[in-house]
Amino acid sequence: MQLKDLLSSVPVKMPAGLRDVSVEGLACDSREVSQGDLFVCYRGVESDGHRFLPQAIEAGAAALVVEDERYLSSPSGEGWPVPSVLVPDGREALAHLAAALHGFPARKLRVIGITGTDGKTTTANLIWSVLQTAGYDTGLISTVNAVIGETQRDTGLHTTTPDSPDVQAYLAQMVDAGAEYAVLEATSHGLAQHRVTACDFDVAVVTNITHDHLDFHGSFEEYREAKARLFRSLTSSACKPGVPKVAVLNADDSLFDYLTEIPADEQLTYAVDREADVKAVGIQVAGWGTSFTAVTPQGSFPVQMKLPGAFNVYNALAAIAVALSQGVAVENIREGIKAVEQVTGRMEQVDAGQPFGVLIDFAHTPNSLRSALEAARGMATGRVTVVFGCAGLRDREKRPAMGEIAGRLADRIVITAEDPRTEDLGEIMGQIASGAEKMGRREGVDYWCIGDRGEAIQFAVDMAEAGDLVLVAGKGHEQSMCFGTTEHPWSDHEAVEKALHRWRSRQGGR
């Protein structure tokens, strides 16, 4: 593709006298540049891509996109040997360029975006299942994986939303596979860093918005605004003939009024407590399942879920509202929701024949830990043990709060590592423990600090008796854990399976 054709998709005035060249691909990491690539620079969280312009050129970059005019020429003051272009925001330009390179795939799909603090992945999977049940070929991009046709791909280790070139490549693959819909999980990082820019959303969904990632966003207002970007994009993205822009909002959420001010062609609300377009009544939580009656503009109908916990009712309501906005029949909605038995790392049951329950959940915020523990209490006939930690270099304020929640809702607490990064693990665990102690818990009696996460999980499993439930929270689907600045391979699933194997061995193989 020609450079000038690509640049026509970027919100920047074309520089006079720009020499046109053929572009084979995009790169934003100089180590990944191939011959003929367009190298796009931006200031990252830990490094500045402009520093690596010489390396990118040496690797074969055909042209450069920079967001700092000082880098339009080389340090010697001479021009670069390849064309260079200045843009106001390198990340935003990267997204638009990636979309253009793939022929704007989002414009050939109906695209549904889900944002919020908790419940995004489960809601995305419920929507995907409902649309598939209704006969629509649907792709999915979540923090867990990308589903394209019959194939599934991991979407990263700690990456919450894939980078924009990957997102656009996935969308293009969906188009090639004949998909009609794409369901995208849009995290606050993904929105703030333009990873889902140029996705031309048709439906924007919010689960809830509570305090999270304030280390990155700086303030709750900035975090809130990052989430709001998804809804603001409805009016700025490409319109598709006959496809209205729809906002699906949680009327029970504290930021409902804030989001309703953002215009959309249609707004659909859902709630449990307040009046809404889609409302749940008669909620019944029984062991590992949940049921309720959905009251909707299409009439009332019963909904059965195989997902545990009252909090999952909100995720189902959001999926129902999306489905109704797309004209999906009630029977397909019911079947699609019921078909979702488990979501990887989201209240996921691990059953190796043991007489107690084990759940793996991604709960890493105060609200999500509270919801998971409340659900666990309703599922256990015995005691509830929770294994969790808090990430280093992230919201420090939530640590004692999560300790308090565990102290109030769990019978036993095992505090452990969860990506301590460059912080002292002992200090992190101590901050969590202070919250547990505020609730009257005593170390060595009903709470323990065990830094090795594998040992912590084993300790919790070994304590469990018939009817008990062990909740392993905080990592969920993730496949690595960060110590210092290095990501080490890690899987809660593997750790739990090993712990259960050792437990069975100690029981004489029973």
Rounded to whole angstroms, what are the CA distances from 304 to 280, 308, 317, 333, 339? 12, 11, 12, 11, 10
* CATH 3.90.190.20 domain span(s) along the chain: 348-506
Phi-psi region of 84 (alpha: psi -120 to 50; beta: other; left: phi over 0): beta
Q: Can you give the three-state secondary structure of 416-442, one letter per residue?
A: CCCCCECCCHHHHHHHHHHHHHHCCCC
Instruction: Please list the residue range(s) of the chain that carry CATH number 3.40.1390.10.
Output: 3-99
Task: Kindly give, in sequence order, each residue whose CB lies less than 8 Å from that of residue 161, ignoring residues fewer than 6 positions away.
Answer: 141, 143, 167, 184, 185, 186, 187, 189, 190, 195, 196
Q: Indicate the CATH number of 104-339 among 3.40.1190.10, 3.40.309.10, 2.70.70.10, 3.20.20.80.
A: 3.40.1190.10
Strand pairing partners for 358? 470
The residue whose two tokens read 């700025």 is 236
Q: Give the pLDDT of the chain (510 residues) as one tens digit per residue.
A: 999 999 998 877 677 778 889 999 999 999 999 999 999 999 886 789 999 999 999 999 999 999 998 999 888 778 899 999 999 999 999 999 999 999 999 999 999 999 998 899 999 999 999 999 999 999 999 988 899 998 988 775 555 678 999 999 999 999 999 999 999 999 888 898 999 999 999 999 999 987 555 445 457 777 778 789 999 999 999 999 999 999 999 999 988 999 999 999 999 999 999 999 999 999 998 877 899 999 999 999 999 999 988 889 999 999 999 999 999 999 999 999 999 998 989 899 999 999 999 999 999 999 899 999 999 998 999 999 999 999 999 889 899 999 999 999 999 999 999 999 999 999 999 999 999 999 999 999 999 999 999 999 999 999 999 999 999 999 999 999 999 999 999 999 999 999 999 999 988 755
Q: Provide the CB-side half-sphere exposure for 285 (13 A, CA).
A: 15
State whether CATH 3.40.1390.10 applies to domain 3-99. Answer: yes
Residue entry with tokens 């074969």: 60
How many angstroms separate the CA atoms of 246 and 456, rounded?
A: 45
Domain at 348-506, CATH from 3.90.190.20, 3.40.50.2300, 1.10.287.3510, 3.40.50.1580: 3.90.190.20
Residues of the chain within CATH 3.40.1190.10 domain(s) are 104-339
What 3-state DSSP class applies to 85?
A: strand
Flag whether the pTM goes above 0.75.
yes
